Amino acid sequence: MVYVYGFASGSKDQRDLLGGKGANLAEMTNLGLPVPPGFTITTEACRAYLSDGGEPEGLAEEITEHLAALEDRMGRRLGQVDDPLLVSVRSGAKFSMPGMMETVLNIGLNDDSVVGLARQSEDDRFAQDSYRRLLQMFGVTVLDIDAEHFSEALDAAKRARGTDDDLGLDADDLRELVGTFKVIVREQAGREFPQDPREQLDLAMRAVFDSWNGDRARLYRRQERIPDDLGTAVNVQAMVFGNFGMSSGSGVAFTRDPASGAQGEYGDYLQNAQGEDVVAGIRNTVSLAELAEVDRTSHDELIAIMARLERHYRDMCDIEFTVERGKLWMLQTRVGKRTPEAAFRIAIHMVDEGLIQMDEAVTRVTGEQLAQLMFPRFDESAERVLLATGMNASPGAAVGKAVFDSDTAVEYAARGEDVILVRKETNPDDLRGMVAARGILTSRGGKTSHAAVVARGMGRTCVCGADALDVDTKAREFRTRDGEAVREGDLISIDGTNGEVYAGAVPVSAALVVRHFEGEKVDDDLVSAVARIMAHADGARRLRVRANADTPDDVARARRFGAQGIGLCRTEHMFLGDRRELVERLVVAESEDDQAAALEALLPLQRQDFTEIFEAMDGLPVTIRLIDPPLHEFLPDLTDLSVKVALAEERGTVDEHDRVLLQHVRRLHEQNPMLGLRGVRLGIQIPGLFRMQARAILEAAADRTAAGMRPVPEIMIPLVASVRELEIVKADILAVAQEIEESRGVTLTYSVGTMIELPRAAFLANRIAAEAEFFSFGTNDLTQMAWGFSRDDVEASFFSRYFEHAIFDVSPFESLDQLGVGGMVEMGTKKGRKARPDLKVGVCGEHGGDPRSIHFFDKVGLDYVSCSPFRIPIARLEAGRSVLIARTNK
Amino acid sequence: MVYVYGFASGSKDQRDLLGGKGANLAEMTNLGLPVPPGFTITTEACRAYLSDGGEPEGLAEEITEHLAALEDRMGRRLGQVDDPLLVSVRSGAKFSMPGMMETVLNIGLNDDSVVGLARQSEDDRFAQDSYRRLLQMFGVTVLDIDAEHFSEALDAAKRARGTDDDLGLDADDLRELVGTFKVIVREQAGREFPQDPREQLDLAMRAVFDSWNGDRARLYRRQERIPDDLGTAVNVQAMVFGNFGMSSGSGVAFTRDPASGAQGEYGDYLQNAQGEDVVAGIRNTVSLAELAEVDRTSHDELIAIMARLERHYRDMCDIEFTVERGKLWMLQTRVGKRTPEAAFRIAIHMVDEGLIQMDEAVTRVTGEQLAQLMFPRFDESAERVLLATGMNASPGAAVGKAVFDSDTAVEYAARGEDVILVRKETNPDDLRGMVAARGILTSRGGKTSHAAVVARGMGRTCVCGADALDVDTKAREFRTRDGEAVREGDLISIDGTNGEVYAGAVPVSAALVVRHFEGEKVDDDLVSAVARIMAHADGARRLRVRANADTPDDVARARRFGAQGIGLCRTEHMFLGDRRELVERLVVAESEDDQAAALEALLPLQRQDFTEIFEAMDGLPVTIRLIDPPLHEFLPDLTDLSVKVALAEERGTVDEHDRVLLQHVRRLHEQNPMLGLRGVRLGIQIPGLFRMQARAILEAAADRTAAGMRPVPEIMIPLVASVRELEIVKADILAVAQEIEESRGVTLTYSVGTMIELPRAAFLANRIAAEAEFFSFGTNDLTQMAWGFSRDDVEASFFSRYFEHAIFDVSPFESLDQLGVGGMVEMGTKKGRKARPDLKVGVCGEHGGDPRSIHFFDKVGLDYVSCSPFRIPIARLEAGRSVLIARTNK
């Protein structure tokens, strides 16, 4: 077993063995770039160390050998008193991992060699500075001493000198600081700082190995789904010194601007400093252009190397370098992080430069990056007054007049005014107001509260749970913690990207990309990059993308955004507003005749809804889900109404209607409405309800067909657990269809299928498929039932603990739980297709718009995903990426 | 393809092909018993007829051939005018099936042959009576005419004659009735009665075939899980006549008493009558002993045949026979139905008579029969006054004084008085009262309401949903629909077997079997039969049987009843009563210290609970489930408290404690408590809670161990969905255990496992098993989550519709949904054992006491079932039967 590799014997493809940093150092070495020599102790050594509880046999000897070779090459020995070799020790796992011990510089210095270094470098200050840095880094990262102790001592020394800058400390000050640091080590770690350089090296290596199992590293891995058994590599490298006077320095650079994506190098340089100083921002850095003025040779060499790296890596690179007395050294490179707009621009620029193909360009951007480009933002330069901070529930920047109820929201909006709907929390009755508003602000509820979910669904900006605000809907105002009042009609601005709420109107930058998707002609290079990438993704993807949309407006927008049909048209929203009283009539109906009359009155209204939707989605499938929620959701809340009636009785002012209504609310009350009389159960209990809906859908389709259009309704039955339920309801629908076809003399194109949202349905999908012409996985409910928790109830109560304990890395309502719920989707799809090979299978939970989930749905072979209109471009892009990532990885 | 078999060419093992009746006729024919000759048209012919929509090719010819053979044998031809052959046509499916067309007698009679029959038999009255019977049966069963038309005409004829008895009608009366019946046929069926005998036969056969798909037959099959594609056979048999004067007659008989199981024949005989008259009870029958007086030869032959049949069938047989002018004919036999006590007695008698082995004897009785023997009953002879009828929620007969709250129930019980707890509905707070009461009566809620479930669990008699009763708990009385009041302290009697509620004390028969199980020495032959069967079942079974029990008393009873451990000891009941205020303290705790103090106060109480339970179950495993329900269940109801506080505020009398409590109740309120903060989530949210419980359990175990006993606690974590949850909680428990072991210097025998009650846990059981030392399937919650409905909410609202539509034949909460939930149990067990081969797997839902479910659990290889103490003997018996049925079927 070989545990140690010299830099010259590795390559960038060996990240598993050498870690990311080690692999890239090897790659640069082999490219002939000026990399200080060194070697990498492999992840295999780490794994052996961790499992055996000590260094594996032979490791010490290999290190000795490689160290000897390094010493020969450098002509100095570790610990040599007159001219010591110094080395750095750096961790480097396959994936970059915060929480692990990272770097100890200047290993090899001790009380003797620091004198030799001073003499040899003819720079006493440099030698003392290097030694105090070693003591500090070694103390903190190897001996686990609180960093505060060192930084306080450093600050004290600067105060004593009357300087703000560490350059203000001279050699003597630093020598004194070295003494202080040694005392700190002794007192805090209970041992002396080790004077033996090899002991320094071994301890640093072990500290790196041990840090793999530190709490933060473990938590990070769990959150990022990085396996626990990879281990980390350790890089040992000859030191070069950026702190060797003013002709030395350290810098970081990008081969393109990581913020805008513009072509051309971009970086920061700090004279007379070691690497960590640049990142820590202890002094002001200068730009690469300014480096050219100080040291043109190093600058030009750097620019040439960066160009070479970019061509070699075929991507924008991020590098770390050091100049030691005018000589450039490369210390690290990797593919650089970038902003969303930079990602799109860089991808397209590189295609145009011939560096990559379009296939690969699509894999270089993400749906989340596109999402960020779609949200409006506040101008960063604008002044603002912060009122409160809540949760960033649905991104975007919204400005409008504060209103406190739906009626007012609709009224303001009708006269063309932008409004922000402010509520303690929202419920389905607030829907009209939410539709009318630019944004929603609540003082209660988390990221999966009604307000948050609906807002995300509609692409409305939302800040929720801003609990510093005291919302008084009766007084039509809210107050901040400072007692400042915002009244109805006052302008406010909310930022759904960071959760902040501001007074007044903060200026907003328009999202050009959205205007482009909406069909506007936009002349902008970013938009054109996005458009080219979208076109290529659309050409490549296998998954079709549909929209979840309930209103003709949403349906029309979905179509503009590229929807290939409607995957979920909920019908319960059609029972709200003015129609609520008809539902009330249905609920309080004393006889079957009363019930029939109430349904009769709903029929033409529903038919009109569907007619408009079919018109907007002409020629494409529209999946309509028959009514799902329990009827009591359309009635007042039990507790509120009980209190109202009790108080009215006490005062002798009771309203007979309220009293009767309370009886029905009590009768229909359910302990667990999510697990009650809803979905297909309601359809079986009140057969007229589903029949009325089927009639409305199919009559609307017959009308459109007669008008020469091509409506394609897909009638979807919710909450089916047993094929028998579907059989009963389907027979009713087919009878209605036959009657309409006969009486109208038309042939309807329609199908009947089901949601798969109960574990039993997924488990017995083969049986369900005997009656279902299509499946649509309702992954929201499926998640609820699989885990046994309801979205409404759990987020506020215990999800934060679950994140802390890494039981989730993300809420399973935001991104599909692939292992559990995903496994059920896969099983259900396989079983369903086995029974009915041409079964159409889609998904209409919120997961249909989530990138990670979309890749999963593509892999398990679903036919389409359905998501809210604003997520459609994201889903299109990710569906393309899923195919192209697999293709480019081949 | 052969579609028709003569009786001589079949056997009793051909029920699939010949139906039950045909197979048994063939068997008797081959035994040489006097069976009128005939043939069977197979189920295959029926299936072909139904799928092709007409008679299959060759069937008509085969019938013609077999008819000719029958005619030759009988020396008469069908429709022969001077001496006609008459035949019966009877349906006979593999399983006896009400709702199918059954019998048409006397086929072959018409206007001509009736004259010949009269002449040949020298009995005009007999001939006319036979013809009117044909018209009547043919009209009703083949032509689908309402039976009322015929019976009204018959009654009119009798009235005209001034007689009550059909024997009072003479030949002329009957001839006139034949005329009337022909008119009825013409008017109601729109056709003449067919005079062609072969047409009569063919139409009757087709009617039998068609009746297979009648609504009632389909519904029956669905409810009994009989496949739809079996089809029915048709038996055509030469008529013999019980209505051929007073030396003829028809009878039914059993080879033993089907009510008591006593040895000796038992039957009813009716002179001058055809078979249907015996069953219809139109005249009084006589006993077999009386038959001996009338016709000793036939009687003796019958007794000899019955003895032979019983030896041949090795079981009690049920037969139908006819005597025609002194000659005995056998028309049917089958294994006879019997009462529970007869089942046990017959099984043991047959063992003692050497007819069967003990293995088979165990398969001849059922757990439900044993259950019926265990319930006390009201003396059938006693007088009683019915007050109302509710649902038979938990069987038994209970007498006691009506009380309307728990305190009063406990108070009365403490002074030795039996009470019936009467409530509108019950909740966990009524538990003390339910424990103290002999029976529970509610005016609301169905068979799965809290009252019903808890009562069944505790073996308390319960009538629920007696909605004719107006219960006024404040006035401490209830009123019947007639306005009669029953006040606190008045005696009432409730029958949980039929749901009836009586005034006063109705005398009760004690259940000897229960007294035997309780350890009393009972000298009774039924008890001894039960004991022998139980001992054999115990020796044979593979499944272990544990109890669900939460109190030391229940645990002790469970042990007497044969429990091999506790499979579910719920700890939430230990938080009720006086301890409720400690839970309130925990909930309203403002700081971690307050919380810790509340937990500290609960610790010794919990420890004492467990100490007593370990003592009662010494040496056997006790599975203790850590607290499962959400904490708000221990607090007042939101609506009630809101109304109370609102009214108090209105009156200016508000109580500060209530106001604070309301805030917390509101904070903890959940839309869907079943899907909220409960089980392991609570344990992770308030880690001290589980730690306190683990400490109480393990300290109690350490105490008992120190006292020389062998406590075997199994700590069970509820509601686990992800292995990570279990990992976190288990680490805490192990730490507590280690600390106790070290501080006490004892070694504890304990294990940590989990409920599998969420679909995700079943699906990912392999992962869960990495941390769980045992699984216990919580099939109640698993059913709720798999189907997405909660037991509390759905029964009242839509289950009745689901039964009507045959979506269920039984509630999935009463008997396991084997296909769906059972499939998940099987999958979870397999996956779990794959990851951990020695995983102990049990079930602790209510299904653990349900016979059908127990057989399933045995087949999928569970280690044990756990059920309420009163179901333990039933589970033991069924676990034995499961093994023995498989063994005897080999």
3-state SS, one letter per residue, for A468-523? CCEEECCCCEEECCCCCEEECCCEEEEECCCCEEEECCCCEECCHHHHHHCCCCCC
Distances (CA, A) of A547 to A719, B381, B795: 20, 71, 36
Question: Nearest residue of A to residue B723 by CA position?
Answer: A807
**Average pLDDT, integer, range B250-265:** 91
User: Between helices A171-189 and A124-137, what is the axis angle to 10°?
Assistant: 20
Question: Nearest residue of A to residue B822 by CA position?
Answer: A760
Q: How far does the CA of residue A630 sit from the closest CA of chain B (Å)?
A: 11
Above 70 in pLDDT, residue B246? yes
Long-range contacts, stretch B29-33, CB < 8 angstroms, 24+ apart: B31/B308, B31/B309, B31/B312, B33/B305, B33/B308, B33/B309, B33/B330
Interface contact flag, A651 B646, Cβ < 8 Å: no
Interface contact flag, A798 B684, Cβ < 8 Å: yes
Q: How confident is the model at residue A223 (pLDDT cuts 50, 70, 90)?
A: low
- Could you report the per-residue pLDDT of A114-170, keeping only the tens digit for each? 999 999 889 999 999 999 999 999 999 999 999 999 999 999 999 999 998 888 999
Q: How confident is the model at residue A458 (pLDDT cuts 50, 70, 90)?
A: low
Distance CA A881, CA A537 (A): 7
**How far apart, in Å, do the first and last CA atoms of chain B sit?**
30
Q: How confident is the model at residue B428 (pLDDT cuts 50, 70, 90)?
A: low
Q: Which residue has the higher pLDDT, B258 or A349?
A: A349
Q: How many helices (H) and strands (E) does chain A have?
A: 36, 31
Most distant CA pair in chain A: distance in Å? 106
Taking the alpha carbons of B69, B70, B71, B76 in that order, is the dihedral positive or negative? positive
Could you tell me if A471 and A422 are in contact, meaning their C-beta atoms sit under 8 angstroms apart?
yes
Q: How far does the CA of residue B383 sit from the closest CA of chain A (Å)?
A: 38
Interface contact flag, B721 A757, Cβ < 8 Å: no
- The phi, psi pair for B853, rounded to 5°, reads -65, -40
CB atoms within 10 A of CB B500: 21
User: Of B450, B536, B632, B847, which residue is the catalytic one?
Assistant: B450
pLDDT at A45 (0 to 100): 96
Pairing relationship of beta strands A391-394 and A508-509 according to DSSP bridges = unpaired
Mean pLDDT over the full length of chain B:
92
pLDDT at B281 (0 to 100): 61
User: Between helices B147-161 and B124-137, what is the axis angle to 10°?
Assistant: 150
User: Of B844, B847, B855, B867, which residue is the catalytic one?
Assistant: B844
Distances (CA, A) of A8 to A11, A32, A39, A238: 8, 9, 8, 14
**Average pLDDT, integer, range B698-724:** 97
> Which residues does chain B have within 8 Å of residue A724's beta carbon, measured at their own beta carbons?
805-807
- Could you report the per-residue pLDDT of B814-852, keeping only the tens digit for each? 899 999 999 999 999 999 999 999 999 999 988 999 999
Above 70 in pLDDT, residue B280? no
Pairing relationship of beta strands B263-271 and B249-256 according to DSSP bridges = antiparallel
- Could you report the per-residue pLDDT of A231-271, keeping only the tens digit for each? 999 999 999 999 888 899 999 999 999 888 999 998 889 99
- Could you report the per-residue pLDDT of B145-186, keeping only the tens digit for each? 999 999 999 999 999 999 988 889 999 999 999 999 999 999
A55: left (phi over 0), alpha (psi -120 to 50) or beta: beta
Least confident stretch, A71-80, B213-222, B451-460: B451-460
The residues with which B544 forms a beta bridge, in sequence order, are: B864
Least confident stretch, B509-513, B554-558, B765-769: B509-513
Q: Please indicate whether residue A317 is annotated as part of the active site.
A: no
Residue ranges in B459-591 assigned as alpha helix (H): 512-517, 525-540, 552-560, 580-588
Above 90 in pLDDT, residue B392? no
Distance CA B670, CA B260 (A): 55
> Which residues does chain A have within 8 Å of residue B671's beta carbon, measured at their own beta carbons?
672-674, 790, 792-793
The model carries a pTM of: 0.84
Could you tell me if B485 and B479 are in contact, meaning their C-beta atoms sit under 8 angstroms apart?
yes
Least confident stretch, A651-655, B349-353, B443-447: B443-447
- Could you report the per-residue pLDDT of A813-835, keeping only the tens digit for each? 989 999 999 999 999 999 999 99
- Could you report the per-residue pLDDT of A850-871, keeping only the tens digit for each? 999 999 999 999 999 999 998 9
**Average pLDDT, integer, range A204-208:** 95
ipTM for this prediction = 0.83
DSSP letters of B792-813? Answer: HHHIIIIIHHHHHTTS-SS-TT
Distance CA B63, CA B58 (A): 9
User: Of A349, A844, A847, A855, which residue is the catalytic one?
Assistant: A844
Interface contact flag, B793 A677, Cβ < 8 Å: yes
CB atoms within 10 A of CB B46: 26
Question: Nearest residue of B to residue A764 by CA position?
Answer: B820
Closest residue to B785, CB basis, from A785, A817, A820 = A785
Interface contact flag, A758 B786, Cβ < 8 Å: yes
Distance CA A43, CA A61 (A): 17
The residues with which B495 forms a beta bridge, in sequence order, are: B397, B500
Distance CA B156, CA B73 (A): 41
Q: How far does the CA of residue B549 sit from the closest CA of chain A (Å)?
A: 25
Cα angle: B644, vertex B646, B649; to 5 degrees = 105
The enclosing H or E element of B509 equals strand B508-509
**Average pLDDT, integer, range B773-795:** 91
Interface contact flag, A764 B823, Cβ < 8 Å: yes
- Could you report the per-residue pLDDT of B303-314, keeping only the tens digit for each? 999 999 999 999
- The phi, psi pair for A556, rounded to 5°, reads -65, -45
Q: How far does the CA of residue B567 sit from the closest CA of chain A (Å)?
A: 22
**Average pLDDT, integer, range A651-667:** 89
Q: 3-class DSSP state for residue B772? A: coil
Q: 3-class DSSP state for residue A841? A: strand
Pairing relationship of beta strands A286-287 and A263-271 according to DSSP bridges = antiparallel
> What percent of chain B stands above pLDDT 70?
98
Above 70 in pLDDT, residue B459? no
pLDDT at B225 (0 to 100): 74
Interface contact flag, A797 B646, Cβ < 8 Å: no
Q: How far does the CA of residue B296 sit from the closest CA of chain A (Å)?
A: 57
pLDDT at B810 (0 to 100): 81
User: Of A66, A149, A349, A450, which residue is the catalytic one?
Assistant: A450
Q: Please indicate whether residue A450 is annotated as part of the active site.
A: yes
